Amino acid sequence: MRFQSRTLFFCCLLFAVSSFSVVLTRGGEGGIEGEKTGEEKIMKEEKQKIKISNKFKNPVAIRAGEPLVIVKDVAKSYGKEELFCDARMRVMPRERIAIVGANGIGKSTLLKIIIGQEEADEGAREIHKGARVGYLPQETHWKSLEKTIEEEIYSANAKMSVMIARKEDYEAREATGELPEEEVADYCRFLEEFKAADGYRYQGMIERLLLDFGFARDSWRRKIISLSGGERTKLALAKVILANPNLIVLDEPTNHLDIETCEWLENFLIGRNIAILCVSHDRYFLDRVCGNTYELTKNGIERYQCCYSDYVIERQARRAALEKKYHIQQKYLKEQQEYIDRFRYKATKAAGVQSRIKQLAKIEKIELPKEQAKDIKIKLDSGTRLCRRVLKLDGIAIGCEDNILFSLDGNLEVEWGDKVGIIGANGMGKSTLLKSILGRTKTLKGKISVSDRVRIGYYAQAHEEMDPSKILLEEVASKTDESEERVRSVLGAMLFAPFEMEKKKIGDLSGGERARAALAELILRKVNFLLLDEPTNHLDLPSKEVIAKVFKEYKGTILLVSHDRYILNEICTHIWDVKNGKLTGYLGNYDDYKYHLAH
């Protein structure tokens, strides 16, 4: 009893002195709030917002006008294939840049060169001494999948991780009365060191990050191996943000994230006073986060001082202007060359001919871009309208008996021509709903009615409907009664070369190629009711825009599970939201849905 009283006395004395100093410091800024101590006030603020202390910041200052990164004439090849050359760019403090370009052009490779993970074949890159670079790769590689969420997030700062572990050890032994009397003074001194190192704020910041990324307190002991792809991405993002970078390099940051987390990430990045370099296939994300768009081509980087949507318009205008100048120049060159050829051997015209030859030699020839991306050219045929009501959900519940994912109060109907987007967090049962409509999974209650006059086409997120051992042409032909000539025509329209149709197995296709092959199957089947589970995953931005146009012009009915807000905005006439265990329907596209929630 005597020992516990002395421990309490020492700690209370230290706490009182520390609290007094904090209150004095903060009082000068805005006074004292109520009768709260300094430590309580700090913890309260930490719960309200994420604020990284100056003690975690690099002391090297960056003067106004100094770039964080300079890329000089960088070139990169793999074997005999040159990805790009003459790449030049600067990243200024607080500048937000989207790196775009054709698939396979080397966007991710350029990011790795910038952060120093890969070497350029030619050229150089310079990083400011004051730059603190955080990097999120497409696929995160973990040192150990057996670590818990809590252990992994604390490993971002090794020194602080050791201090927190030591503090928790002291606390545990004190709580059980196992802390020796001779260690009390050391414990008190350590608490002062911990506070001076901003340990309490650091702990609060970690808690807030984990909670904001959707990790409830009771999940912090879960091992990484048990996390889904989306949860692993969230954890990796939290570690990047925790390092307090002034430049974040993001390679497909929204992969595996649900819409709610995407929007949180966007708002967080928008509110941070940092530079961002980002490669993404999420048009909505790029428009919100990045104010500049840099297009990587084989011949370098073309800069656009605008967001992605404006870049698409500006790029078309630049290409049209370039083509116009090219044709004018070609006409001029042809006329001059004809004059030279006609009068080359006439003595009276010799001076004029030589003058024109010299003029032509000085002219800088206009060249059109070599890599003109091919457009997917397809059309979905739904046939004539056969009924009014295509689908009705009546009081259904989705899930299993011990885990109801969501339920519907009342009913929802889908009419011919409706395009319904289904949104919600990962694991909420959206894909299960599609399988229930197909009759592959039973509902826990209620009834699903599908018109017997519709022909359903199903696009599976993982493409499990496709046989990985089959050749591409064989697989697609097996799903339709159409002739081989027609199958080849559709696959060609989906940008498959003849040798790919005849030689490549489904299992050897990339994610984007499998997506295009699955869409080819739907086209050939001539369905009028599409059930689509994340159909734009793995597609690049230009392909997504083409697919959005195809779905928008489609006369049939679509039920679409997607996290792609651009697609949800472009094609949907209704939104079904799965949230808090309930399915709710809204009229309009995704922006209309957001407006409804806000008002």
Q: For 143-160, what is each residue's pLDDT tens digit? A: 888 889 988 888 888 788
Domain end (from 244, 263, 278): 244
> 588 and 539 in one domain?
yes
Lowest mean pLDDT among 49-53, 107-111, 377-381, 458-462: 49-53
Rounded CA gap, 310 and 291, in Å? 10
Most confident range, picked from 178-192, 251-265, 288-302? 288-302
Q: How many residues does the chain have?
A: 599
Q: Would you say residue 496 lies in a domain? A: yes
Q: What is the DSSP letter of 295?
A: E
- Per the DSSP assignment, residues forming a β-bridge with 70 are 90, 126
* Of 25-39, 226-240, 251-265, 568-582, the least confident: 25-39
Whether 91 maps to a domain, the answer reads: no
Q: Determine, yes or no, domain membership for 80.
A: no
CA nearest neighbour of 83 among 116, 123, 115:
123
C-beta separation of 394 from 446 below 8 A: yes
Are residue 351 and residue 410 in the same domain, yes or no?
A: no
The pTM score is: 0.75
**Alpha carbon distances (Å) from 196 to 22, 26, 189:** 11, 15, 11
* pLDDT-wise least confident of 76-90, 176-190, 434-448: 176-190
pLDDT in tens, 364-378: 999 887 655 556 667
pLDDT, tens digit, for every residue of 526-545?
Answer: 889 999 998 888 788 888 88
Instruction: Say whether both 428 and 567 belong to one domain.
Output: yes
Residue in the block written with tokens 């995953």: 537
Token pair recorded at residue 220 = 């912090």
pLDDT in the model for residue 375: 63
Select from 343, 531, 560, 537 the least CA-distant residue to 440. Answer: 531
Residue 9 pLDDT > 50: no
Task: Give me the pLDDT at residue 371, please.
Answer: 55
Element (H, E) at 515: helix 511-525
User: Dihedral angle at the C-alpha atoms of 313, 319, 325, 326, nearest 10 degrees?
Assistant: -170
Say if residue 475 is in the same domain as residue 588: yes
- For the segment 442-454, the average pLDDT, to the nearest whole number, is 94
Alpha-carbon distance 453 to 48, whole Å?
55
Give me the CATH number covering residue 530: 3.40.50.300
Closest CA to 520 of 537, 546, 495: 495
pLDDT average, residue stretch 106-111: 93
In 379-476, beta strands by DSSP E: 389-400, 403-407, 411-415, 419-424, 445-450, 456-459
Adjacent-strand bridge partners of 564:
none
What's the domain range around 437? Answer: 389-598
pLDDT tens, residue by residue, 22-73:
222 233 333 323 334 444 443 344 333 333 334 444 446 678 789 999 999 9
Residues 350 and 234 in one domain: no
How many domains in the chain? 3
Q: What is the mean pLDDT of residues 294-316?
A: 95
Coil/strand/helix, residue 380: coil
Asked if residue 589 belongs to a domain, the reply is yes
Burial class (CB in 10 A: 0-12, 13-18, 19+), 322: middle
pLDDT of residue 348: 83
Tens digit of each residue's pLDDT (9 = 90 or more) over 464-494: 778 889 999 999 999 888 898 989 988 888 8
User: Are 396 and 338 in the same domain?
Assistant: no
- Same domain flag for 395 and 535: yes
Same domain, 345 and 439: no
Does one domain contain both 453 and 315?
no
pLDDT tens-digit profile of 273-285?
Answer: 899 999 999 999 9
Position 48 in a domain: no
CB count in 10 Å sphere of residue 80? 5
Q: Which residue has the tokens 């159909």?
A: 535
pLDDT recorded at residue 27: 33
What was the pLDDT predicted at 251? Answer: 92
Q: Which of 148, 190, 153 has its CA nearest to residue 168? A: 190
In-domain check, residue 338:
yes
Is the pLDDT reported for residue 192 higher than 60? yes
List, for residues 204-226, the tens digit of each pLDDT value: 888 888 988 888 999 999 999 88
434 domain-assigned: yes
Instruction: Give the mean pLDDT of 152-173.
Output: 86
Strands (E), 92-148: 96-100, 122-127, 133-136
Q: Under DSSP, is residue 528 helix (H, G, I), strand (E, B) or coil? A: coil
> For residue 441, is it within any domain?
yes
Look at residues 197, 224, 244 and tell me which one is the last residue of a structural domain. Answer: 244
pLDDT at 588: 97
Q: What percent of the chain has pLDDT over 70?
A: 88
Do 423 and 350 sit in the same domain of this protein?
Answer: no
Q: Which of 55-64, 101-110, 134-143 has the highest mean pLDDT?
A: 101-110
CB burial of residue 285 (10 Å; 0-12, 13-18, 19+) = buried
pLDDT of residue 7: 46
Q: Which burial class, exposed, middle or buried, applies to 584 when counting CB atoms under 10 A from its CB (0-12, 13-18, 19+)?
A: middle
DSSP labels for 311-323? HHHHHHHHHHHHH
- Residue 177 and residue 318 share a domain: no
What pLDDT is attached to residue 144? 81
Same domain, 498 and 552: yes
